[in-house]
Amino acid sequence: MLGKHRLVPGLAILVVTIMSLLCRDIPFFWDSSFFCAGAQELYNQGFSNLILNINTDTGGFPMYPLWMAICWTIAGKSLLVSHLAMLPWLIIVVYQVNVFAKRWISPDMLKWALLLVLLDPTFATQSVLMAYDLILCAFFLLALNALLSGKKWLFIIMTTMMLLSSVRGILLLAAVAIIHFLVVKILQRNPFKGKGFFVYIPAVIIWLMWMCWHYYQTGWFMVSPVREANHESLNQPIMMLRQGLYICWKAFDFGRICSVVFIVIMAIFFGIKKSLNRELKFLFLMILTLLIVPAVTMAPLANPVGHRYVLSFIILLPLVFLSFVSALQNKKIKIAMIVVVACVYISGNFWMYPERYGNGWDASLKVIPWFSLEKQISSDVKSMNIPATAIGSEWPVFTNPAHTTLSDDVAWCNDLDGRDIQTMPYIFQTNICNSFSPSTLLALREHWTIKKQWHKGQVYAVLYQNPTIR
C-alpha cells in the first residue's frame, strides 16, 4: 500500500500528467515559440551543428531546443509529443518541491505545499505552455536539495546543467552560491566541508568551454549582434531603478503579494518574540536572495522582464510561507491563512492591468481562450481574402505557425516592425500584444474603422481598416 508520505507527491504528479494530456493542443506561445524555432532548426538539419541561426541563438547552450528536437526525432513532431517532452521536467519539479518541503514543513502541511505551488498562476501557465524555464527550475531544485543533503557530486552535476540550460542559469548560480553561504553560516552546516566553494569550478569551466567554442564559431560572446542595440543594451540609472521595481512587481504579481505580506508579518511577529529560529531565518534570506539577485543583475539591461524570470522564487515562495505558518500554534489561524492565500492565487488568473503595463499573458491562465480564438480569427481573416502583407500586428500574433502549432499553415498577418501604422491598410490589435503604445491605441480607436472584432474570456481582438487606404 502506498504510504502517506508518497501519496501527496504521487497525486501532484498525476495532476501534472493529466494537465499535460488535457493541454495537448495548446501551441507554443510567447518565448517558447522562439525556442521552438531553434528546435525546428536542429530537427531539420539532423543535429549537424549545435550553433543555431543568429536569429534564434541566445549565446547559451541550446538545451531546450536540443531536448525538444530529440523527442521529435524519437516520437514524431507534434504538439502532443512536445507537451509530453516537458512532462519529465514537470515531474522533477513537483517531486523536488516535495523533497524540499519535507525539510521545513510539518507533515500535516505537506499537502498544502504542493497544492499552493500547483495553484500559482505563473507556474500553472508556464506548465501548460511548455516553457523552457521549467528545465532550469528542475536543475535548480535538484542542486538546492543536493546542497542541503551534502551530496557534492550531484550538486556539481546539477549546477553544471543549470549553466547549460539557460543564459539565466548564470544568475541563478550566483543565487545558489549565496544560499550555499547561508547554509554554512546560518544553518551551521558544512556541505562538502573545507573548500566547499571549489565545487563551482567544474560548472564554470564547462560553461566557459562552450562559450569559447561559440565565440570561435560565431565571433560574438553572450550578447547577440541582432539584440545588442535594444533588449541587451544598458539602461540609464533611473531606468535601472524602475526595472528593479518592475522585477519585484512580477515576483509579487497574480496573488503572490498575499503570501509575501503574510511572511513579512510572521517574520516580524517571530522576531519580536525572539523565536525566529535559524531555519526560518535561512528560509527568509533564501527567498530574499532569489528575488534580489535577479532584480539587481537584470535591472541594468533593457530586456523586458517576464514573470518566468523569477520562476524559482515563485515556486519556493509557497514553501517558505508554509514554513512560517507551521511555526504558528493556532490551527484555525493556520488554515485561515492558507485558504486566503489559495483563493488569492486562484484569483490571480483573472487580474488585469491597463494595457500599457502588460498583463503577463504567458504567466496566468487568462490566456487560454486566446488559442481557440486565434483559430477563429485566422479563419475569418482568410475568408475576407485579405493578404497577410496588408495586415500589420505585434508580437506574438505574427509568429510563424511552424513555430507555434508545428503546422504548414502560413501566417495570416505580418510584423509591423516599427513601421508607421498609416502605411498599413489594416492593423490587427489585441490585448494579447503588449507592444502597441498608448498613442497608437488612441489613434486606432479614434480614427480607424473597425472591420471586425472578437472577444472570448478576457481576451479581445480588433481588425482595424485604414480609412485613408482603399
Among candidate residues 443, 318, 306, the one with its CA nearest the CA of residue 367: 306
**What per-residue confidence (pLDDT) applies to 416?**
87
Among candidate residues 292, 338, 312, 382, the one with its CA nearest the CA of residue 105: 338
Spell 228-246 as b/e; 16+ CB within 10 A means b.
eeeebeebeeeebeebbeb
- For residue 292, give the C-alpha cell: 534580489
Taking the C-alpha atoms of residue 125 and residue 148, their distance in angstroms, rounded to an integer, is 29
- For residue 140, give the C-alpha cell: 535548480
Q: Biggest alpha carbon distance in the chain?
A: 76
**What per-residue confidence (pLDDT) applies to 358?**
78
Query: Terminal CA-to-CA distance of the chain, rounded, Å?
Result: 73
Taking the C-alpha atoms of residue 340 and residue 344, their distance in angstroms, rounded to an integer, is 6
Q: What residues does 391 pair with on adjacent strands?
A: 426
**What per-residue confidence (pLDDT) applies to 3?**
52
**What per-residue confidence (pLDDT) applies to 204?**
94
| φ/ψ of residue 26, rounded to 5 | -70, 130
Q: Of all helices (H) and strands (E), which one includes residue 428?
A: strand 426-430
Residue 301: which residues within 8 A CB-CB, separation 6 or more? 231, 232, 233, 234, 235, 243
| DSSP-derived secondary structure letter, 410 | P
Q: How far is CA 45 from CA 39, 52, 69, 305, in A?
A: 10, 10, 10, 32
- For residue 180, give the C-alpha cell: 550555499
CB neighbours of residue 407 within 10 Å: 11
pTM of the model: 0.93
| Start-end of H helices in 120-229 | 121-128, 133-149, 152-165, 169-185, 201-218
Burial class (CB in 10 A: 0-12, 13-18, 19+), 169: buried
- For residue 56, give the C-alpha cell: 534564434
Taking the C-alpha atoms of residue 420 and residue 384, their distance in angstroms, rounded to an integer, is 24
**What per-residue confidence (pLDDT) applies to 1?**
39
| DSSP-derived secondary structure letter, 28 | P
Report DSSP letters for 181-199, one per residue: HHHHHTS---TT-SSGGGG
**What per-residue confidence (pLDDT) applies to 62?**
94
**What per-residue confidence (pLDDT) applies to 297?**
87
| DSSP-derived secondary structure letter, 348 | G
| Start-end of H helices in 219-255 | 237-252
Report DSSP letters for 267-332, one per residue: HHHHHHTT---HHHHHHHHHHHHHHHHHHHHHTTB-SPPPGGGGHHHHHHHHHHHHHHHHT-S-HH
Per-residue pLDDT of the chain (470 residues; tens, 9 = 90+): 345 567 778 888 999 999 999 999 999 999 899 999 999 999 999 988 899 988 888 889 999 999 999 999 999 999 999 999 999 999 999 999 999 999 998 888 888 999 999 999 999 999 999 999 999 999 999 999 999 999 999 999 999 999 999 888 999 999 999 999 999 999 888 878 767 778 999 999 999 999 999 999 988 887 777 765 555 567 777 878 888 888 999 999 999 999 999 999 998 888 766 667 888 899 999 999 999 999 888 888 777 788 999 999 999 999 999 999 988 888 899 999 999 999 999 999 999 998 877 788 999 999 999 999 999 999 999 899 999 889 999 888 888 888 999 988 888 889 888 888 999 999 999 999 888 888 899 999 999 999 999 999 999 999 999 998 77
448 and 464 Cβ atoms separated by less than 8 Å: yes
CB neighbours of residue 256 within 10 Å: 25
Taking the C-alpha atoms of residue 225 and residue 220, their distance in angstroms, rounded to an integer, is 8
Residue 245: which residues within 8 A CB-CB, separation 6 or more? none
Among candidate residues 174, 143, 158, the one with its CA nearest the CA of residue 293: 174
**What per-residue confidence (pLDDT) applies to 229?**
52
| Start-end of H helices in 25-168 | 31-45, 63-75, 79-104, 110-119, 121-128, 133-149, 152-165
363 and 126 Cβ atoms separated by less than 8 Å: yes
173 and 159 Cβ atoms separated by less than 8 Å: yes
